[in-house]
Structure 1
Amino acid sequence: MNLSAEMKQVFDLYNEGLHLYKTRKFPDAKRKFQEALQIKPDDGPSQLYVERCDTFIQSPPPEDWDGVYVMTTK
């Protein structure tokens, strides 16, 4: 797969953020997703995870959380 240097950087930041998210480090994950958005402001997955991090920063998931996000509204 051929990615531009910019897209590789976005991809790497997103993956770092995802790892932090899955290990419940929501403020750190949010920062990584925001860094990705500084490079590519229309990156939908990073935008989505910023919102999810905000949700979990305000109201952390239960201790047995498996990383799955459950939508509460439609």
Structure 2
Amino acid sequence: MITEAKRKAIKLFARGREFYKERDFQEAFKYFSAAYKADPTDEPSNVFIARCQEYIDNPPDEGWDGVYGMKSK
């Protein structure tokens, strides 16, 4: 059964992904953070929070296709 917190986190995460794909990392960060706050077990939101922080500091190239290039293994 999906909890209400998980449902809320899923909706917030989906909205964050929309902003992420549009390269609006500040706004995406807000939604991913809200999703993680709604459900602290939501690891994907936590991952995207870190990616947004990275892209805010170092924006991807104009040709960026939304794929994240891992820096290390």
Same fold (TM over 0.5): yes
> Is it true that 1:67 corresponds to 2:66 in the alignment?
yes
Deviation of the 1:23 alpha carbon: 0.4
Structure 1 runs, 4 residues or longer, greater than 4 Å off: none
Letter in 2 for 1:37: Y
Which residue number in structure 2 is paired with residue 57 of structure 1?
56
> Is it true that 1:43 corresponds to 2:52 in the alignment?
no
Letter in 1 for 2:69: V
Question: Where does the alignment leave 5 or more consecutive residues of structure 1 unmatched?
Answer: none
The Cα RMSD (Å) is 1.1
Deviation of the 1:57 alpha carbon: 0.3
Deviation of the 1:8 alpha carbon: 1.4
**Percent identity at matched positions?**
36
Deviation of the 1:72 alpha carbon: 1.3
Letter in 2 for 1:39: A
Letter in 1 for 2:37: Q
Deviation of the 1:43 alpha carbon: 0.8
Which residue number in structure 2 is paired with residue 30 of structure 1?
29
Deviation of the 1:37 alpha carbon: 1.0
Letter in 1 for 2:28: A
Which residue number in structure 2 is paired with residue 20 of structure 1?
19
| Residues matched between the structures, number | 73
Which residue number in structure 1 is paired with residue 9 of structure 2?
10
